[in-house]
Amino acid sequence: MTDVIVSCVEYGCIPYIRYPVAFHYISLLSENMLNIKHIATLRFKMSVAFVVYKLCDKNRLSTVYIEEFLNKIQEHDFNSKLFCVLNEHGINEKKFFDSTITNIVIDELEKFYSILSREEDSDKVENQPSD
């Protein structure tokens, strides 16, 4: 697991961890490396991504075409908005183990779902035969 952390620091990326055991193991390992540059940011963003993955309603997203999803996620700028809202609530690299993060992620996901559903509704209207 330390190779995941080292690779992420070296290449400037955030690990996408889906499984709780792996997530907790990497969290524990990274906690001992907080004095290394970028580890605190990596740990924070990894934790937020894990929460988003766990709370995301995959069934609601499964009805959306991948191209539409990618366009909407870029247009909505989900990541930037989520981290901005977290920052507004004082949730950052130094303070993020709080139940508040769950509520914020749920709210931001709901906003994104509503954007997707509006798009789906407009597609349905466009594809209906006219009288």
Confidence band, pLDDT 50/70/90 cuts, at residue 16: confident
Residues 78, 32, single domain; the answer is no
Total count of domains within the chain: 2
Give per-residue pLDDT as tens, 98-110: 668 899 999 999 9
Residues 117, 63, single domain; the answer is yes
Reduce the DSSP state of residue 22 to 3 states and report it: helix
Note the helical H segments in 37-76.
39-55, 58-61, 66-76
Classify residue 129: in a domain, yes or no. no
Residues 63, 109, single domain; the answer is yes
Classify residue 101: in a domain, yes or no. yes
Residues 32, 51, single domain; the answer is yes
Is residue 109 a contact partner of residue 55, using CB atoms and an 8 Å limit? yes
Does residue 121 register a pLDDT over 60?
no
Classify residue 82: in a domain, yes or no. yes
Is residue 93 a contact partner of residue 83, using CB atoms and an 8 Å limit? no
